[in-house]
Chain A
Amino acid sequence: MSLRRIESLCRIETVPEGLRIGAGCVIAQIWADKLATSIPLLGKMARAFGTRQVRNRATVGGNIASGLPDRTLAVCLLALDASVHLKSLKGERIVPLEKFLVGAKKTALTPEEMVIAVTIPQVKGFQDYNMIGPRNAQFFVTVSMALVVDDTNKKVHLALGNAGPIALRAHLAEDFANTAIDWKKQQVNAATAAEFGEIAAKNCNPPSDATAGENYRRHAIKIMARRLLIKAFEEEPR
């Protein structure tokens, strides 16, 4: 059963909760969509996602339901505080993405349910996605991360990919940053950024596999998180 075929699942629309993306939407569609540009992270996510061929076929629903920890889409949606809409014969329910991703390749999806959409609350502020791998294109990420700054609520969201059995939010690092950032001056000093990276790197569980070991992954998380936070609060908007 291909989600792509069901027209109602392939829509992107604004709803009171934010932006709603149907589970049948392919990544290439998100990239091209005008409404989706209101959330810049989605464009960055789509550009970084797989290869052109993969972007034309990978669906939002399929990607989320896979429960794999290195998937670009899940990491970005996690940082955006997205929610997942599930439907069964009994009705619909909405689950925050963070709760939906239960464990390694496991989601909160029951056998009678399917993912029909995700909604993303509108958020104002810096957003970016970074990933690294064993070469410069087309790779399963060694590690990745998405940083979303919520200027209104003075909070940062940091989601990590391939830093554990599931894509996860680095809450301890976020808590630290939320108080350490000078929100008034919109500034972050080098020590804060470095500490942010240290906390994120310490509080995750990256795998060792044929591509890279745990040590390198932690090292990369530390550096990437530090760099992202600095970039978010640089004087010139990027």
Chain B
Amino acid sequence: MSAEEKISYTLQINGKSHKVENAFYSENLLDVLRYRLGMTGTKFGCEHGQCGACTVHIDGKPVCSCMELAAVVAGSEITTIEGYNKPDGTLTKLQQCFVKHAALQCGYCTPGFIMSAAAFIAEHPNATEEEIREGMDGNLCRCTGYGRIIAAIKEAAEVSK
């Protein structure tokens, strides 16, 4: 399939079907989410999978959407921050911890961190600081110096025994 060719496909996003028509095969999932489907909660930071601001879940696993061709993930379950959010506008425990610990300043990296951390704490209850550092290595932040992010995730990962 060449980069010139235009195709149509259906994406399963946050439990709903979205038809994408006449898109270049080379369009990545991030661009399709943001500019074709208007879902700008997932952020664009770099186009080379380095910063994690574009993290979404594909079949439940955190992935950089800027590195995925949208056409190729047709058929998978995609979850974005819009799907992670509680529909009633209240915050999840993880989101509350970010707010409480001032784990954001400009906030541009935050949706990516939330998506990444949501998957992380599901797999690592009661994660230690070291495990958090290792497990969150795919998300960059330039404002906070990470200390507050670690504290937020640590509290969010706590599971009462």
Contacts and interface: CB of A to CB of B under 8 A. Distances in A.
Contacts of B68: 57
Contact of A138 (B62, B67, B116, B137): B137
B58 interface: yes
Given A138-B137, A138-B138, A53 B49 contact: yes
Interface in A3-27: 5
B62 A52 contact: yes
A53 B75 contact: no
B135 interface: yes
Interface residues of B, number: 21
Interface string B35-68: 0000000000000011010010010011110011
A10 B75 CA distance: 17
Given A2-B72, A57-B63, A52 B116 contact: yes
Interface in A176-201: none
Contact of B52 (A2, A53, A57): A53
Interface residues of A, number: 12
A56 B58 contact: yes
Give the one of A5, A52, A53, A137 with max B CB within 10 A: A53
Given A5-B75, A51-B52, A56 B137 contact: no
A52 B72 contact: no
Contacts of A2: 72
Given A51-B52, A51-B138, A137-B137, A56 B62 contact: yes
Interface in B80-139: 116, 119-120, 134-138
A50 B50 CA distance: 10
A51 B139 CA distance: 9
A156 B25 CA distance: 46
Nearest to B50: A138
Nearest to B119: A52
Nearest to A2: B72
B138 A52 contact: yes
Given A53-B49, A54-B49, 9 more contacts: A50-B138, A51-B52, A52-B138, A53-B62, A53-B63, A53-B64, A54-B67, A56-B61, A57-B63
Interface of B: 49-50, 52, 55, 58, 61-64, 67-68, 72, 75, 116, 119-120, 134-138
Interface of A: 2, 5, 28, 50-54, 56-57, 137-138
